[in-house]
C-alpha cells in the first residue's frame, strides 16, 4: 500500500491480520468507531469510479474502515435509475446497498427530485405538462424509494430547488419540475416518498445554506419553507447543507451552527451532506503546512459544531481522496478532502479525530432519539418517571398531535391514538427497542433501568420524550 498514513496503515494491517491481534495491540480508533459511540454517522461518497471498478484498492479499504454512512456520487440520480420511461436500473444502487450491508454502513439516497441529471426523456416528452410530470415524478419516487424500502435510511427528496438570487426564492428556470408543476412538486415529492417508505428520513438538500441566516438568504428561505411544511404535515424530517466551501470561508461553521439551532426549534435534523473545503486550483503544488493546518482547523470546526448541536446526525464529505474529486474536475478548486492523492490522511483527518476525542460519547446527543429534548431532567426524587416532557415545545412548533405517553415500570402507555410506532434510544441515540403500540401500551421488558428517549410516531405526528425506566 503506497504512502499509507501510519495510523490508517496500522488499523488496516490489524484488520487484515484478524481479530486475535486486535485485543493485544489496541489499535488507534477509526473515525467510524468514534462516530458510532456518539450515535452519529460520518462518511463519504462512493465515487463513480468505485461503481465502475476503476479505483485503487486503497479506496474501499479505507472507506469501509473509516466511515459508517455512504452515498452514491451519481448512481441513484434520476438519469441513472430511470434512463428510459418506467424502465428502472437499480444495478449500481444495489451494488452500493450490498456493500453497505456487508460493512454495516448506513445509506443515504441522493437524489429524487432535482432539476439536474434528469433523464432527457422527461423534458422531451412532457415539458410543461403538469399532470404528466406529476405522474412521472410520483412513479419515479414510488419505484425508487419502494425498491430500497428499509435499506436506504434517508433520502434527499428534493435537491437544490432554491435559486441563487440575493433574495432567495424557488429556482424557477432550468427546472423541468418547477416550470411544469410549480412549487407543489416539492410538497408532493415528500408525501410520495413518505408513502413509499414511512420509516425513511426525508431531507431537503441544498448548497450555500452555510452562508448565514440574513434576511433573503437561501438558508432563511429554507427555514421558512420547513416551517410551512411542518405546519402542513408535509413529512420532512431533515435538511442537508451541502457545504462545498473554500479555505477562505471562515465564518461558515458558525453559520451552520445557527442553521442547526433554527431547525432544532422546528424539530428537524440538520445534516452536513457534501462537505469539501477546497483551495484555489492555482495554488496546487504551492500549498504549505500552514495551509493544510488551516484546512484542518475548518474541518475541525465543522466537526465541533456537528457534535455539539443535538439535531445534527450525519457528516458526509463529498469524496475521500483528492485523487477523485469533482473539485478538480469541475470547480477550479483543488485538494478539498481528507486524504491526499496518494491516500495519505491530511491534517484535516487528524483534526476530525481530535474533535471526536474531545467530545466524549456521554456528552454527544444523537438526533435519532433526542431531537426535541429541552427540559432539564427531573432530579427531585418524586415518583414521576416522566422527565422532560416536550409536548408543549412540539405543540408550539405545530409538531405534536394530541397524543401523549407516560411510563410506569417497564410499560409505556400512550393516549390519544389507536396505534403508534415506538422507537426507544439510549442517550447516545443507539436504538434499544423498535416496535408498535397497538392497544394503548407496549412492554419494554428487555430494557434495563436508566434514562432513555422515546420517539412515538402516529401518522405525520410525532412526540419525543425522555423517560426513566425504574
Q: Rounded to an integer, what distance in angstroms lies between the CA atom of residue 170 and that of residue 40?
A: 31
* Residue 273 Cβ vs ligand 9MR, minimum distance, rounded to whole Å: 8
- 302 near ligand 9MR, rule: CB under 6 A: no
Nearest distance in Å: CB 242, ligand 9MR: 5
Question: In the range 233-262, which residues lie near ligand 9MR by CB under 6 A?
Answer: 242
At a CB cut-off of 8 Å and minimum separation 6, what does 156 contact? 108, 109, 110, 111, 112, 114, 203, 204, 205, 240, 273
Q: Which position's Cβ is nearest ligand 9MR?
A: 326
Residue (202 or 422) nearer to ligand 9MR, CB: 202
- 308 carries an active-site annotation: no
Q: What is the DSSP letter of 282?
A: G
Reading the block at residue 356, the C-alpha cell is: 471526536
The neighbour count for residue 446, using CB atoms within 10 Å, is 8
Nearer to ligand 9MR, 326 or 452 (CB): 326
> Smallest distance from the beta carbon of 197 to ligand 9MR, in angstroms?
21
Here's the x/- map for ligand 9MR, 11-50, by CB under 6 A: it reads as ----------------------------------------
Closest CB 275 distance from ligand 9MR, rounded Å: 11
Q: Residue 451 CB: number of other CB atoms within 10 A?
A: 13
E strand or H helix that includes residue 46: strand 41-46
Tell me the CB-side half-sphere exposure of residue 188, using CA atoms within 13 A: 20
Nearest Cα residue to 274 out of 241, 323, 312: 241
**Grid coordinates 456518539 are at which residue?**
38
**β-strands 420-425, 431-437 pairing:** antiparallel
What minimum distance in Å lies between the beta carbon of 93 and ligand 9MR?
Answer: 14
Residues 6+ positions from 274 with CB-CB distance below 8 Å = 207, 240, 242, 243, 244, 316, 317, 318
Contact characters 261-290, ligand 9MR, x per CB under 6 A: -------------x----------------
46 vs 467 by CB, closer to ligand 9MR: 46
Cα–Cα distance measured from residue 392 to residue 374, given in angstroms and rounded to the nearest whole number:
10
Say how many residues touch ligand 9MR, by CB under 6 A.
Answer: 7
Minimum distance from CB of 33 to ligand 9MR (Å)? 27
Residues in region 148-207 near ligand 9MR by CB under 6 A: none
C-beta of residue 221 within 8 angstroms of C-beta of residue 169:
yes
According to the binding rule CB under 6 A, does residue 299 interact with ligand 9MR?
A: no
Determine whether 274 is an active site residue: yes
462 within 8 A of 373, measured Cβ to Cβ = no
Judged by CB under 6 A, the residue of 126, 190, 326, 425 near ligand 9MR is: 326
Residue closer to ligand 9MR, measured from CB, 274 or 426: 274
Q: Which is nearer to ligand 9MR, 110 or 359 (CB)?
A: 110
Q: Write the interaction track for ligand 9MR spanning residues 371-410; mark x where CB under 6 A is met and - where it is not.
A: ----------------------------------------
Residues 336-375 binding ligand 9MR (CB under 6 A) are none
Whichever of 73 and 304 has its CB closer to ligand 9MR, that residue is 73
Please report how close the Cβ of residue 320 comes to ligand 9MR at its closest, in angstroms: 12
In the complex, minimum distance from the CB of residue 178 to ligand 9MR, in angstroms, rounded to a whole number: 17
CA distances from 58 to 41, 243, 325, 395 (A): 21, 26, 16, 50
One of 117, 231, 384, 402 touching ligand 9MR (CB under 6 A): 117
* 116 lies in the site for ligand 9MR, by CB under 6 A: yes
**Footprint of ligand 9MR on residues 54-93 (CB under 6 A)?**
73-74
Cβ-based neighbour number of residue 251 at 10 Å: 11
Catalytic residue among 58, 210, 246, 274: 274
Per DSSP, which regions of 224-301 are E strands?
238-241, 244-246, 269-280
Contact between 276 and 319 under an 8 Å Cβ cutoff? The reply is yes
Choose, from 75, 160, 201, 335, the residue flagged as catalytic: 160
Name the minimum Å distance from CB 419 to ligand 9MR.
Answer: 38
Peptide bond into 236 cis (omega under 30): no
Spatial CA neighbour of 470 closest among 373, 374, 383: 383
Local structure of 260: helix, strand or coil: helix
The smaller minimum CB distance to ligand 9MR, of residues 13 and 74, is found at 74
Indicate the residue among 159 and 458 with the shorter CB distance to ligand 9MR.
159
Residue 30 vs 242, nearer CB to ligand 9MR: 242
- Give the residue from 339, 346, 456, 360 showing the smallest Cα distance to 399: 456
As annotated, the active-site residues are 160, 274
Chain residues binding ligand 9MR by CB under 6 A are 73-74, 116-117, 242, 274, 326
Amino acid at each position: 500500500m503506497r504512502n499509507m498514513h501510519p495510523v490508517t496503515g496500522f488499523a488496516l494491517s490489524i484488520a487484515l491480520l484478524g481479530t486475535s491481534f486486535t485485543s493485544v495491540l489496541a489499535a488507534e480508533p477509526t473515525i467510524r468507531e468514534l462516530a458510532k459511540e456518539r450515535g452519529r454517522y460520518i462518511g463519504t461518497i462512493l465515487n463513480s469510479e468505485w461503481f465502475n471498478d476503476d479505483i485503487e484498492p486503497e479506496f474501499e479499504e479505507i472507506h469501509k474502515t473509516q466511515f459508517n454512512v455512504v452515498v452514491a456520487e451519481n448512481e441513484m440520480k434520476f438519469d441513472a435509475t430511470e434512463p428510459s420511461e418506467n424502465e428502472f436500473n437499480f444495478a449500481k444502487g444495489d451494488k452500493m446497498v450490498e456493500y453497505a450491508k456487508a460493512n454495516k454502513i448506513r445509506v443515504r439516497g441522493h437524489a429524487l427530485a432535482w432539476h439536474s441529471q434528469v433523464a432527457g426523456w422527461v423534458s422531451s416528452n412532457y415539458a410543461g405538462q403538469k399532470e404528466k410530470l406529476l405522474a412521472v415524478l410520483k412513479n419515479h419516487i414510488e419505484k425508487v424509494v419502494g425498491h430500497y424500502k428499509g435499506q436506504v435510511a434517508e433520502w434527499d427528496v428534493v435537491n437544490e430547488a432554491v435559486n441563487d438570487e440575493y433574495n432567495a426564492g424557488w429556482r424557477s428556470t432550468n427546472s423541468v419540475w418547477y416550470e411544469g408543476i410549480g412549487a407543489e412538486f416539492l410538497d408532493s415529492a415528500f408525501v410520495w416518498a413518505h408513502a413509499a417508505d414511512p420509516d425513511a428520513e426525508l431531507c431537503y438538500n441544498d448548497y450555500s445554506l452555510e452562508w448565514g441566516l440574513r434576511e433573503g438568504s437561501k438558508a432563511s428561505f429554507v427555514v421558512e419553507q420547513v416551517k410551512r411544511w411542518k405546519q402542513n404535515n408535509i413529512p420532512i424530517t431533515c435538511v442537508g447543507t451541502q457545504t462545498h466551501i473554500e479555505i477562505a470561508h471562515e465564518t461558515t461553521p458558525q453559520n451552520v451552527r445557527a442553521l442547526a439551532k433554527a431547525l432544532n426549534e422546528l424539530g428537524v435534523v440538520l445534516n452536513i451532506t457534501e462537505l469539501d473545503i477546497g483551495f484555489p486550483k492555482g495554488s496546487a503544488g504551492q500549498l504549505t503546512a500552514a495551509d493544510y493546518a488551516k484546512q484542518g482547523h475548518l474541518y475541525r470546526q465543522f466537526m465541533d459544531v456537528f457534535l455539539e448541536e443535538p439535531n445534527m446526525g450525519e457528516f458526509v464529505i463529498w469524496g475521500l481522496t483528492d485523487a477523485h474529486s469533482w473539485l478538480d474536475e469541475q470547480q477550479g478548486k483543488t485538494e478539498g478532502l481528507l486524504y491526499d492523492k496518494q491516500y495519505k490522511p491530511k491534517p484535516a483527518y487528524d483534526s476530525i479525530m481530535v474533535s471526536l476525542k474531545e467530545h466524549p460519547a456521554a456528552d454527544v446527543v444523537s438526533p435519532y432519539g433526542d431531537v426535541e429534548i429541552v427540559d432539564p431532567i427531573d432530579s427531585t426524587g418524586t415518583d414521576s418517571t416522566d422527565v422532560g416532557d416536550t409536548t408543549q415545545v412540539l405543540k408550539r412548533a405545530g409538531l405534536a398531535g394530541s397524543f401523549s405517553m407516560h411510563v410506569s415500570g417497564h410499560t409505556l402507555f400512550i393516549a390519544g391514538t389507536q396505534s403508534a410506532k415506538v422507537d426507544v434510544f439510549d442517550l447516545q441515540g443507539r436504538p434499544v427497542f423498535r416496535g408498535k403500540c397497538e392497544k394503548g401500551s407496549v412492554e419494554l421488558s428487555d430494557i434495563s433501568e436508566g434514562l432513555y428517549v422515546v420517539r412515538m410516531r402516529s401518522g405525520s405526528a410525532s412526540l419525543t420524550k425522555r423517560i426513566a425506566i425504574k
